[in-house]
Amino acid sequence: MAERPIWRGHLRLALVSCPVSLHSVARASGDLRFHFINPKTGHRVRMVALGAETDKEVARSDLVRGYEFEKDRYVLLDDEDFAKARVESSSTMTVDKFIAREAIQPIYFDASYYLVPDGEVGQDVYVVLRDAIAASDTAALSRVVISRRERAVAILPLENGMVLHTLHEPRDLHAYDTLFDRIPDARPDAEMVKLARQLIGRQKGKFAPADIEDRYEARLREVIDAKLKGEGIEPEETAEPRGDNVIDLMAALKRSLGEGRRTAPRAPAKKKAKRAAARKRA
């Protein structure tokens, strides 16, 4: 694996454990990166750290962390102080319990990490836990210290391995009840729900990585390439939904199903001929 582990320790369930490591899922190297530029000079602007009292530049290597216990008064902490705060989850992820996978609402998922065996020792424990979690359709809940913060995590199988998802605490999230309270309690017409399910069934397919590609970034790269070549590029026309028209939902659903039938891809003539010949032979 190209990325260095961001954490190394043990995964433990009851009396069994295995050495594991965490690797970042996200790869940022391919992202477009922008810098602040002074348009008058064309030079990049450099961000510097300035002392709040002296306004003099301070080298980042000379900075330490401090906790403000009173207004403008700080207690300074070094690496030794942070080491003294270590808890069990700093080096060991103990599975606390298993819950149904669908019990965790998507809003609680934060960052994801690949959870892999760290060396050959304990790989048998790893694969047993992976298959047991997959067979029981559960998520393993545990805790781990990452970036000087203990995070609750959910461990799920992913093909031949496992993925660890850090979880937001409830205090990290805005409550949604006041927003959802605005939604009417009235149940929709059963026939319209049936038509919507037919539309869902018609557009059902398998997930592919191309489904989640960033088309805006791809378009932005085209704009950048055009500017480098001194060429122009016309913006794509986008259909803005109208907010002032009253829609007959039933008619719109039926029309959507009809358009789905009309836009279904036609089989090539050669394939049609082969099917016709096969029917004759039958």
Q: Do residues 116 and 158 touch, judged by C-beta distance below 8 A?
A: no
Q: Do residues 116 and 23 touch, judged by C-beta distance below 8 A?
A: yes
- Answer with the residue of higher pLDDT: 270 or 113: 113
Q: Give 195's contacts (C-beta < 8 A, 6+ positions apart).
A: 250, 253, 254, 257
DSSP string spanning 195-226?
HHHHHHHHT-----GGGG--HHHHHHHHHHHH
What phi-psi label fits residue 148: left (phi over 0), alpha (psi between -120 and 50 degrees) or beta?
left
Task: For the chain, give the mean pLDDT.
Answer: 83
Q: What mean pLDDT is predicted for residues 205-212?
A: 82
Confidence check: pLDDT of 105 > 90 = yes
Confidence check: pLDDT of 222 > 70 = yes
Which of helix, strand or coil describes residue 215? helix
Q: What percent of the chain has pLDDT over 70?
A: 86
Q: Do residues 108 and 168 touch, judged by C-beta distance below 8 A?
A: yes
Q: What is the pLDDT of residues 6-63, one digit of tens each?
A: 999 999 998 899 999 999 998 766 677 888 888 899 889 888 888 888 888 888 888 8
Confidence check: pLDDT of 128 > 50 = yes
- Gap between the Cα atoms of 223 and 34, Å rounded: 14
Residue 94's pLDDT band (cuts 50, 70, 90): very high
What DSSP character marks residue 138? E
Confidence check: pLDDT of 199 > 70 = yes
Domain assignments of the chain as residue spans, ordered by start: 7-26+85-172, 184-203+250-260
Q: What is the pLDDT of residue 260?
A: 55
Q: What is the pLDDT of residue 268?
A: 47
- Answer with the residue of higher pLDDT: 176 or 86: 176
Q: What mean pLDDT is predicted for residues 105-119?
A: 94
Tokens 């433990």 correspond to 12
Residue 176's pLDDT band (cuts 50, 70, 90): confident
Domain topology for 7-26+85-172: Ku70; Chain: A; Domain 2 (2.40.290)
Q: What is the pLDDT of residues 235-251, one digit of tens each?
A: 777 666 555 544 677 78
Q: Do residues 134 and 101 touch, judged by C-beta distance below 8 A?
A: no
- What is the value of pTM for the model shown? 0.69
Q: What is the pLDDT of residues 50-75, one digit of tens each?
A: 888 888 888 888 888 888 888 888 88
Q: What is the pLDDT of residue 239?
A: 61
Q: What is the pLDDT of residue 31?
A: 73
Q: What is the pLDDT of residues 131-173, one digit of tens each?
A: 999 999 999 999 999 888 899 999 999 999 999 999 999 889 9
CA 46 to chain centre: 31
- Answer with the residue of higher pLDDT: 104 or 50: 104
